[in-house]
Amino acid sequence: MAPRRVGLWLIGACGGVASTTALGLSALARGQTPPTGLVTALPQFAGHDFDAPDAFVVGGHDIRKGNFLTAARELHERSNVFDERTLAACAGDLETWSANLRPGVVYRPDAAITALADRPDTRRAGSAREAIDAIQSDLKAFKAAHRLDQLVVVNAASTEPPFEPTDEQKSLERLLPALERAAPASLPTSGVYAFAALDAGFPYVNMTPSRGATLPALEELARKRGVPHAGQDLKTGETLLKSVLAPMFARRNLRVLSWVGHNILGNRDGLVLNDPDNKSSKVTSKDRLLAELLGYRPQSHVSIEYIESLDDWKTAWDHIHFEGFLGTKMMMQFTWQGCDSLLAAPLVIDLVRLTALAQRRGESGPMPHLACFFKSPIGVSEHDFGKQFALLEAYLANPACKPGRAS
Amino acid sequence: MAPRRVGLWLIGACGGVASTTALGLSALARGQTPPTGLVTALPQFAGHDFDAPDAFVVGGHDIRKGNFLTAARELHERSNVFDERTLAACAGDLETWSANLRPGVVYRPDAAITALADRPDTRRAGSAREAIDAIQSDLKAFKAAHRLDQLVVVNAASTEPPFEPTDEQKSLERLLPALERAAPASLPTSGVYAFAALDAGFPYVNMTPSRGATLPALEELARKRGVPHAGQDLKTGETLLKSVLAPMFARRNLRVLSWVGHNILGNRDGLVLNDPDNKSSKVTSKDRLLAELLGYRPQSHVSIEYIESLDDWKTAWDHIHFEGFLGTKMMMQFTWQGCDSLLAAPLVIDLVRLTALAQRRGESGPMPHLACFFKSPIGVSEHDFGKQFALLEAYLANPACKPGRAS
Amino acid sequence: MAPRRVGLWLIGACGGVASTTALGLSALARGQTPPTGLVTALPQFAGHDFDAPDAFVVGGHDIRKGNFLTAARELHERSNVFDERTLAACAGDLETWSANLRPGVVYRPDAAITALADRPDTRRAGSAREAIDAIQSDLKAFKAAHRLDQLVVVNAASTEPPFEPTDEQKSLERLLPALERAAPASLPTSGVYAFAALDAGFPYVNMTPSRGATLPALEELARKRGVPHAGQDLKTGETLLKSVLAPMFARRNLRVLSWVGHNILGNRDGLVLNDPDNKSSKVTSKDRLLAELLGYRPQSHVSIEYIESLDDWKTAWDHIHFEGFLGTKMMMQFTWQGCDSLLAAPLVIDLVRLTALAQRRGESGPMPHLACFFKSPIGVSEHDFGKQFALLEAYLANPACKPGRAS
Amino acid sequence: MAPRRVGLWLIGACGGVASTTALGLSALARGQTPPTGLVTALPQFAGHDFDAPDAFVVGGHDIRKGNFLTAARELHERSNVFDERTLAACAGDLETWSANLRPGVVYRPDAAITALADRPDTRRAGSAREAIDAIQSDLKAFKAAHRLDQLVVVNAASTEPPFEPTDEQKSLERLLPALERAAPASLPTSGVYAFAALDAGFPYVNMTPSRGATLPALEELARKRGVPHAGQDLKTGETLLKSVLAPMFARRNLRVLSWVGHNILGNRDGLVLNDPDNKSSKVTSKDRLLAELLGYRPQSHVSIEYIESLDDWKTAWDHIHFEGFLGTKMMMQFTWQGCDSLLAAPLVIDLVRLTALAQRRGESGPMPHLACFFKSPIGVSEHDFGKQFALLEAYLANPACKPGRAS
Q: Which CATH superfamily is domain B6-234+342-401 in?
A: NAD(P)-binding Rossmann-like Domain (3.40.50.720)
Work out the minimum CA distance from C330 to partner chain D, whole angstroms.
5
* B301: β partners: B260
Inspect the interface and report whether the beta carbons of B326 and A82 lie closer than 8 Å. Answer: yes
> pLDDT by residue (tens digit) across B319-347?
999 999 999 999 999 999 999 999 999 99
> pLDDT by residue (tens digit) across D50-82?
999 999 999 999 998 899 999 999 999 999 999
Residues of C in contact with A279 (CB under 8 A): none
**Residue ranges of chain A with per-residue pLDDT less than 70:** 1, 109-113, 281-282, 284-287, 399, 401-407
For the beta carbon of residue B144, count every other beta carbon within 10 angstroms.
Answer: 9
Interface of C with A (CB under 8 A): 80, 257-258, 260, 262, 264, 299, 301, 303, 305, 307-310, 315, 317, 319, 321, 329, 331, 333, 335, 337
Nearest neighbour of B307 by CB, restricted to D299, D303, D309 = D299
Amino acid (one-letter) located at D130: E
Work out the minimum CA distance from A121 to partner chain C, whole angstroms.
34
* C338: β partners: C314
> pLDDT by residue (tens digit) across B234-290?
999 999 999 999 999 999 999 999 999 999 999 877 777 777 777 776 676 666 789
Amino acid (one-letter) located at C98: S
Residues of A in contact with C79 (CB under 8 A): none
> How far is residue A212's CA from residue A200's CA, in Å, rounded to a whole number?
15
**Residue ranges of chain D with per-residue pLDDT less than 70:** 1, 109-113, 278, 281-282, 284-287, 399, 401-407
Q: Which of D154, D113, D105 is nearest to D133 (CA)?
A: D105
Q: Could you give the C-alpha distances from D245 to A338, B21, B377, C123, D185, in angstroms and in order?
A: 29, 40, 44, 46, 40
DSSP-derived 3-state class of residue B136: helix
Beta pairing class for D313-323 and C313-323? unpaired
Q: Is C399 exposed, middle or buried (0-12, 13-18, 19+ CB in 10 A)?
A: exposed
**Amino acid C407: pLDDT:** 34
Taking CA–CA distances from B237, the nearest residue in chain A reads A332
Range C238-340 classified under CATH 3.30.360.10 = yes
Q: What is the pLDDT of chain B when averaged over all its residues?
A: 92
**Amino acid D1: pLDDT:** 62
**Amino acid C310: pLDDT:** 95
Residues of C in contact with D27 (CB under 8 A): 326
Residues of C in contact with B84 (CB under 8 A): 84
- Return the HEC string of chain A: CCCCCEEEEEECCCCHHHHHHHHHHHHHHCCCCCCCCCHHHCHHHCCCCCCCHHHEEEEEEECCCCCHHHHHHHHHHHHCCCCHHHHHHHHHHHHHHHCCEEECEECCCCHHHHCCCCCCCCEECCCHHHHHHHHHHHHHHHHHHCCCCEEEEEECCCCCCCCCCCHHHHCHHHHHHHCCCCCCCCCCHHHHHHHHHHHCCCCEEECCCCCHHHCHHHHHHHHHHCCEEEECCECCCHHHHHHHHHHHHHHCCCEEEEEEEEEEECCHHHHHHCCHHHHHHHHHHHHCHHHHHHCCCCEEEEEEEECHHHCCEEEEEEEEEEECHHHCEEEEEEEEEEEHHHHHHHHHHHHHHHHHHHHHCCCCEECHHHHHHECCCCCCCCCCHHHHHHHHHHHHHCHHHCCCCCC
Q: What is the mean pLDDT of each run of 10 residues along chain C (407 residues)?
A: 90 96 98 97 95 97 94 94 94 98 84 76 90 97 98 94 90 95 89 97 96 94 96 93 97 97 86 72 73 94 92 96 97 97 98 98 95 94 96 90 47
Q: Could you give the C-alpha distances from D379 to A296, D210, D219, in angstroms and in order?
A: 63, 16, 10
Q: Is A240 exposed, middle or buried (0-12, 13-18, 19+ CB in 10 A)?
A: buried
Residues of B in contact with A339 (CB under 8 A): 324, 328, 330
**Amino acid B289: pLDDT:** 87
Work out the minimum CA distance from C77 to partner chain B, whole angstroms.
9
Q: Which of B281, B280, B304, B269 is nearest to B210 (CA)?
A: B281
Nearest neighbour of A309 by CB, restricted to C309, C321, C335 = C321
**Amino acid A405: pLDDT:** 37
Nearest neighbour of D332 by CB, restricted to C324, C336, C386 = C336
Report domain extents, chain D.
6-234+342-401, 238-339
Inspect the interface and report whether the beta carbons of A321 and C309 lie closer than 8 Å. Answer: yes
Inspect the interface and report whether the beta carbons of B333 and A335 lie closer than 8 Å. Answer: yes
Beta pairing class for A255-265 and B255-265? unpaired
Burial readout A351-390 (b: 16 or more C-beta within 10 A, e: otherwise): bbbbbbbbbbeebbbbbbbbbbbbbbbbbbebbbbbbbbb
**Amino acid D407: pLDDT:** 34
Phi, psi of B405 (to 5 degrees): -80, -30
Inspect the interface and report whether the beta carbons of B326 and A24 lie closer than 8 Å. Answer: yes
Please identify, in words, the CATH class of the domain defined by D238-339: alpha beta
**Amino acid D406: pLDDT:** 35
Sign of CA dihedral C53, C59, C64, C65: positive
Nearest neighbour of A254 by CB, restricted to B24, B36, B295 = B36
**Amino acid A353: pLDDT:** 98
Work out the minimum CA distance from A86 to partner chain D, whole angstroms.
13
Contact between D7 and D359 (Cβ < 8 Å): no
Inspect the interface and report whether the beta carbons of A262 and C262 lie closer than 8 Å. Answer: yes
Inspect the interface and report whether the beta carbons of D84 and A84 lie closer than 8 Å. Answer: yes
> pLDDT by residue (tens digit) across B46-75?
999 999 999 999 999 999 889 999 999 999
Inspect the interface and report whether the beta carbons of D84 and A80 lie closer than 8 Å. Answer: no
Residues of C in contact with D41 (CB under 8 A): 253
Mutation target among D44, D313, D328, D374 for the C interface, most CBs of C within 10 A = D328
